[in-house]
Structure 1
Amino acid sequence: MEFRVNLSRPDITEAEIEAVCDVLRSPNLSLGPKLDEFEEAFCQYIGRRRAVAVNSGTSGLFLCAKALEIGPGDEVITTPFTFIASATTIMMAGATPVFVDIDPVSLNMDPERIASAVTDKTKAILPVVVFGNPTGLDRVCDIAAEHNLAVIEDSCEGLGSQLHGKKIGTFGAMSTFAFYPNKQITTGEGGMILTDDDDLADMCVSLRNQGRGKGGGWLAHARLGYNYRLSDINCALGIAQLARLDEFVAKRRHVADMYIERLAADDRLIVPREPEGCLMSWFVYVVRLADRYTIDQRNTVLAKMIRRRVQVSNYFPPVHLQPFMVERFGYKPGDFPLTDAVCKSTVALPFHNHLTAADVDFICKQLTTCLDELT
């Protein structure tokens, strides 16, 4: 189906196209100068000492776990309301994800529930900046410090956000961003690890490049590694996109404001707003149906919106109820009731830099009509 309004869309100009073409005209398509340039630009923007570019946010989270020596027998506390990779990367490292239910307003892991989930097997906490909202991240770090736990900051959805004036990506011992085309900036596919610890950064550099060590040759491998490199083609695109990040954040805030203006008065909806103390870099715009509606009614709204050529989605299904998670860990509905309730009600609306007031008017009209038709 061809949608009148797509759920997401990258913002690519001639500057990005020319940057990529410049690399294609060069002899350096991978492990060239654009890799170093992109990593340095990210360090400067976030304010951390080291950046390690990788081929996805998923790879970044996994390498963070490996660098922190998280493995079999270890537990990592995280949220069940997130994209699946927040949990599966823990499992890829051989450790066990331990879920903590969410705060029903921020939709982030509830910091006040974390302490009761800590055991003698707990090695780290992996908080997620859900939809670009960093609320509670400072409290998570405080709790981690109290229990001598590492924090892997999953900031894949939050590039450009701030909490009390502190940039996202600077809270955890390690943090990871992602650059899939629906993110604030894109490299097509890609991710970035940030840390102030040289040993952790050096380990990630080695692991992303087939385990090659410092000073070794191309065929010398110091450890088991992976091919998680990000090409200079992707890095060139990322450099051009990062230079426009403030523009992108402003555009996305404007779209969010248009949705708030048009939908906030509708008591059938729970409409997200920027929390106090946050400068929010919106990743997606997800409304929720009021508690009186069922999941079947939510699904009816999704289906009708799609038939009306408005691309929408159910961000997020609960991670713990994914079939393989149920099979492996025995989770069931009700284990994390706040997450379950939120997941039954979400409607992710189209959200990207190109949306006009007319687009938002059309989307909101279709949504209200679909709500009117519910019985």
Structure 2
Amino acid sequence: MNDHKALILDEVRKYHDDVQTVGEFVPGVTEIWPTGAVHDVADRVALVEAALELRVAAGQRARRFESEFARKMKRRKALLTTSGSSANLLAVSALTSQRLQDMRLRPGDEVITVAAAFPTTVNPILQNALVPVFVDVELGTYNPTVDMVARAIGPKTRAIMIAHTVGNPFDVADMARLATEHDLFLIEDNCDAVGSRYDGEPTGTFGDLATVSFYPAHHMTMGEGGCVLTSNLVLARVVESLRDWGRDCWCEPGESNTCLKRFDYQMGTLPRGYDHKYIYSHVGYNLKATELQAALGLSQLGKLDDFCAARRRNWRRLREGLDGVPYLLLPEATPRSDPSWYGFVITVDPEAPFEASELVGFLEARKIGTRRLFAGNLVRHPAYADQPYRIVGDLTNTDIITTQTFHVGVYPGLTDEMIDYVVSSITEFVRVRG
């Protein structure tokens, strides 16, 4: 590091100290956010240092992040991308690749999922001309059971794609066995669940593919960003191709002839010797992340375990504080799981003497941020009115979630004082209105 760069980074550290003010918490005045990122001086320095090098396109840091994150998540490959949503798009699209031969998904094939979801878990199914098959979820865990999914399997079913809702794992070991028994692909949407475990193993390690988000609301952040994880090297190569314009070449940007036969290929109806750097084997996208995002991700990755521990601690404090409050269904971890929670989900009993919207309004007036459980029932949204889908059973609990369910925050930036104020506010409202 040259002297000028060292001086700049030292000034960045001083700047961080200048602007990093932690004010006194004032109940009802200080915002208590439902989600948020936690940054420290190392994050700021990492981002500025990468910017000084002016290498913006994905490079050495991106490759290093992919390697370290794959190791952290116990997968052979991690493919960095622009967002968790684009990771979902790449994961589903990969299953349609001709590289999978007879196993590939084709238009009209069905993918089992849930309607109580974030839309970008479901949208890639439709965007690939596949048909989502919706099943209900349980209240409390907010995940489907294996039996619910098993009943939805039909002659056109080819895959299962489900999120670990708010970090709470679905019964992923048995779901993976179900998928294997029926020759189905399993995609774990792990965007809300980095750090969660099932049977002692990380979520994201049970399916053929898993996806992660690095949006500020999630367990670690790059500002924007996401990742596709897999231990299947064929699928990894397909995801990489789809992410990188659909190209067949695997040279890193700025590299040439990694395969030592750049001008020896004959593919499609192209003439033999056509430059492999410009041969395309998929109808792809450009969904690569940047070197700046990777720099921030590497810094955040070192704090991930502490972030997850804080989320668990905040969730437990809320759960213990609200235990026994009437009219509220509190969240429960799925048996055999150890969730790294995204949020604390509350469902108001439909028979309660108040509406969930009234409790939400009360909390928001006290500067306690709330969020719905994503889209509630997706099939009730205008975007899906004319889309093809199938529903198996009914969506009774999903409809309850639409009107009665919300979540408050557990992210690491919240203090015990803030958590206790959330507990006392909810308790006060129920006591007065109940």
TM-score of the two chains, using structure 2 as the length reference: 0.81
Equivalent pair of 1:64/1:193 in contact (CA under 8 Å)? yes
Is structure 2 residue 86 aligned with structure 1 residue 40?
no
Match for residue 426 of structure 2?
367
Match for residue 361 of structure 2?
303
Match for residue 63 of structure 1?
90
Relative distance call for 1:3 and 1:82 in structure 2 (3 A) is farther
Equivalent pair of 1:79/1:100 in contact (CA under 8 Å)? yes
Relative distance call for 1:330 and 1:226 in structure 2 (3 A) is closer
Q: Which runs of 5 or more residues in structure 1 are unaligned?
A: none
Relative distance call for 1:186 and 1:328 in structure 2 (3 A) is same
Aligned mate of 2:121, from 86, 94, 98: 86
Aligned mate of 1:264, from 323, 340, 343: 323
Match for residue 288 of structure 1?
347
Give the total of aligned pairs.
Answer: 373
Match for residue 291 of structure 2?
232
Relative distance call for 1:66 and 1:16 in structure 2 (3 A) is same
Match for residue 15 of structure 1?
42
SS at match of 2:64: helix
Distance 1:77 1:47 in 2: 26
Q: Which runs of 5 or more residues in structure 2 are unaligned?
A: 1-27, 97-104, 252-274
Q: Kindly provide the amino acid, as one letter, of the partner of residue 129 in structure 2.
A: G
Aligned mate of 1:350, from 403, 406, 409: 409
Distance 1:46 1:6 in 2: 28
Equivalent pair of 1:162/1:279 in contact (CA under 8 Å)? yes
Match for residue 236 of structure 2?
201
Distance 2:185 2:335 in 1: 27
Q: Kindly provide the amino acid, as one letter, of the partner of residue 303 in structure 1.
A: G
Equivalent pair of 1:260/1:273 in contact (CA under 8 Å)? no
Distance 1:301 1:146 in 2: 45
SS at match of 2:162: coil
Distance 1:23 1:368 in 2: 47
Equivalent pair of 2:144/2:170 in contact (CA under 8 Å)? no
Distance 1:135 1:286 in 2: 15
Match for residue 179 of structure 1?
214
Deviates more, 1:112-121 or 1:168-177: 112-121
Paired residues for 1:75-114 under 5 Å: 75-114=110-149
How far residue 142 of structure 1 moved from its aligned partner, in angstroms, is 1.2
Aligned mate of 2:185, from 150, 156, 165: 150
Distance 1:314 1:223 in 2: 37
SS at match of 1:234: helix
Equivalent pair of 1:305/1:367 in contact (CA under 8 Å)? yes
Distance 2:224 2:82 in 1: 6
How far residue 359 of structure 1 moved from its aligned partner, in angstroms, is 0.7
Is structure 2 residue 113 aligned with structure 1 residue 49?
no
SS at match of 2:387: helix
How far residue 190 of structure 1 moved from its aligned partner, in angstroms, is 0.9
Deviations 1:124-183 (A, max 9, x none): 001210111113111111111111101011111110011011111100011111111110
Q: Kindly provide the amino acid, as one letter, of the partner of residue 127 in structure 2.
A: M
Aligned mate of 1:170, from 188, 196, 205: 205
Distance 2:352 2:382 in 1: 25
Distance 2:276 2:291 in 1: 20
Distance 1:74 1:318 in 2: 22
How far residue 331 of structure 1 moved from its aligned partner, in angstroms, is 8.5
SS at match of 2:210: strand
How far residue 284 of structure 1 moved from its aligned partner, in angstroms, is 1.0
Deviates more, 1:35-44 or 1:113-122: 113-122
Deviations 1:281-301 (A, max 9, x none): 01111122124238x711111
Q: Kindly provide the amino acid, as one letter, of the partner of residue 97 in structure 1.
A: P
Is structure 2 residue 158 aligned with structure 1 residue 123?
yes
Q: Kindly provide the amino acid, as one letter, of the partner of residue 192 in structure 1.
A: C
Distance 2:419 2:382 in 1: 35
Q: Kindly provide the amino acid, as one letter, of the partner of residue 48 in structure 2.
A: C
Match for residue 213 of structure 1?
248
Relative distance call for 1:175 and 1:358 in structure 2 (3 A) is same
Distance 1:102 1:335 in 2: 10
Distance 1:326 1:48 in 2: 38
Q: Kindly provide the amino acid, as one letter, of the partner of residue 209 in structure 1.
A: D
Distance 2:184 2:123 in 1: 20
How far residue 327 of structure 1 moved from its aligned partner, in angstroms, is 3.7
Equivalent pair of 2:161/2:187 in contact (CA under 8 Å)? yes
Equivalent pair of 2:370/2:407 in contact (CA under 8 Å)? yes
SS at match of 2:186: strand
Alignment root-mean-square deviation, CA: 2.2
Runs (4+) off by over 6 Å:
none
